[in-house]
Amino acid sequence: MPKKSTHITKVAHRMAAEDRWRCQGHRGGVLWFTGLSASGKTTLAFELEKRLFDQGMKVYVLDGDNMRFGLSADLGFSPDDRMEHIRRVGEVAALFADAGILVISAFISPYREDRQRARKVAGENFHEIYLSAPVDVCETRDPKGLYAKARRGELSDFTGVSAPYEEPEHCELIVDTGTLSVEESLNVLTTYVAEKFKL
Amino acid sequence: MPKKSTHITKVAHRMAAEDRWRCQGHRGGVLWFTGLSASGKTTLAFELEKRLFDQGMKVYVLDGDNMRFGLSADLGFSPDDRMEHIRRVGEVAALFADAGILVISAFISPYREDRQRARKVAGENFHEIYLSAPVDVCETRDPKGLYAKARRGELSDFTGVSAPYEEPEHCELIVDTGTLSVEESLNVLTTYVAEKFKL
């Protein structure tokens, strides 16, 4: 996107990111969950947040559904709107990471290019985590009845049904949520976080 | 703004905001600085952030100039773009506050209606802080030479010169940055924060 603002200058914080990390014992960064609807993103994000919080970490979930009530309230589900939505989320995630927070973002984010842009904005400490569950498994779960609606044509541009999902090619972690239980998935994730983020 | 998303539901964090506060010894919230260009917003925001950080608080500056490189990179300085810019900043500030952070936002935010919207989004713990310096004082300082450019007609829609600034009517705190030194202003602000945010 072209930058429209002129006459602006970057202003630096008076402390380094590392100073924030040292205080709290862990790095800031982004755990970028991606996967189909019903692949477990929201459930795992909020459960993981709770576990890490209980360990004393500074952690916060950015959730697709929640964000759409606020920052992206002006956007729908067309390809252009999805792209802008994910762009904004990526920018917000980067700000949280800069503030030292470990942010867990839980968005379908079906396009590689959008995820790549979010990665670029956040810089190092961006971890793309693919919650890999096949569409037929997700469709069987269908906790919100969205797949059924999409199949009946009541929802357009529905990822996995009437809109594409581009699987990650070089993500940092794959969690096979098609076969692992919530508890098992959480164990994989907490182990990963301890390894990558704790000082 | 009408909500364009449908089929979305709010999902709750597994811990309350108060749990986050208890861990760190202070409330999250928003210190919303407003005032003319050169009224001291950026300087005071970053110095205050450093002071509060040194006291062990979880604090983060959202700065007008910095944000425009990212989240609002697609926006300029027209009235509509400024409104959308401030809307986004208000949403981001509310997310940070929800995460337990004391966010200091440093934006001219010249329109009452925009500030009111930011207040509504953040809920309680939103503190509007007017850095009150007369335009002639700001114009004398003019550290970036922007007033001079605006007077020469090289910058359009410049607040205080060719665009309005609507003074706060019911803000939580006024800091008279037209007469107070940076040090004096910081003392006012740290005292205020201790009183309002520490548990």
Closest Cα in chain B to A42? B11
Q: Which run of H or E residues covers position B126? A: strand B126-131
pLDDT value for A1: 45
Q: Report the alpha-carbon distance of residue A28 to residue A16 in Å, rounded.
A: 12
CB contact under 8 A, A4 and B73: yes
pLDDT value for B1: 45
Q: Which is catalytic among the residues A109, A132, A162, A185?
A: A109
For residue range B29-47, what is the model confidence (pLDDT) as tens digits? 999 999 999 999 999 999 9
Tokens 């904005």 correspond to A121
For residue range B141-158, what is the model confidence (pLDDT) as tens digits? 999 999 999 999 999 889
CB contact under 8 A, A91 and B71: yes
Min distance B128 CA to chain A CA atoms (Å) = 20
pLDDT value for B65: 66
Mean pLDDT of chain B: 92
pLDDT value for B7: 53
**Residue count (chain A):** 199
- Helix, strand or coil for residue A155? coil
Q: Which is catalytic among the residues B37, B39, B105, B109?
A: B109
pLDDT value for A13: 84
What is the reported pTM? 0.93
**Residues of chain B contacting residue A14, judged by C-beta atoms under 8 Å apart:** 46-47, 49-50, 53
**A150 in Cβ contact with A158 (< 8 Å):** yes
Q: Report the alpha-carbon distance of residue B66 to residue B42 in Å, rounded.
A: 10
pLDDT value for B2: 45
Q: Report the alpha-carbon distance of residue A106 to residue B8 in Å, rounded.
A: 14
pLDDT for B8 beyond 80:
no
pLDDT value for A11: 62
pLDDT value for B171: 97
Chain centroid to CA B149: how far?
24
pLDDT value for A153: 94
- Helix, strand or coil for residue B152? coil
Q: Which residues of chain A have pLDDT under 50?
A: 1-2
Q: Is A132 a catalytic residue?
A: no
CB hemisphere CA count around B151 (13 angstroms):
9
Q: Considering only CA atoms, which of B120, B199, B57, B92 is closest in space to residue A103?
A: B92
The pLDDT confidence band at residue B10, using thresholds 50, 70 and 90, is: low
- Helix, strand or coil for residue B35? coil
Q: What is the ipTM of this complex?
A: 0.92
Which tokens belong to A2? 């072209």
Q: Report the alpha-carbon distance of residue B4 to residue B91 in Å, rounded.
A: 16
For residue A127, what are the β-bridge partners? A31
Which among A65, A68, A91 has the least Cβ separation from residue B70?
A91
Please give the residue that has the higher pLDDT: either B125 or A11. B125
- Helix, strand or coil for residue B23? helix
**A92 in Cβ contact with A71 (< 8 Å):** yes
pLDDT value for A9: 54
The pLDDT confidence band at residue B9, using thresholds 50, 70 and 90, is: low
**B12 in Cβ contact with A63 (< 8 Å):** no
For residue range B84-116, what is the model confidence (pLDDT) as tens digits? 999 999 999 999 999 999 999 999 999 999 999
CB contact under 8 A, B155 and A7: yes
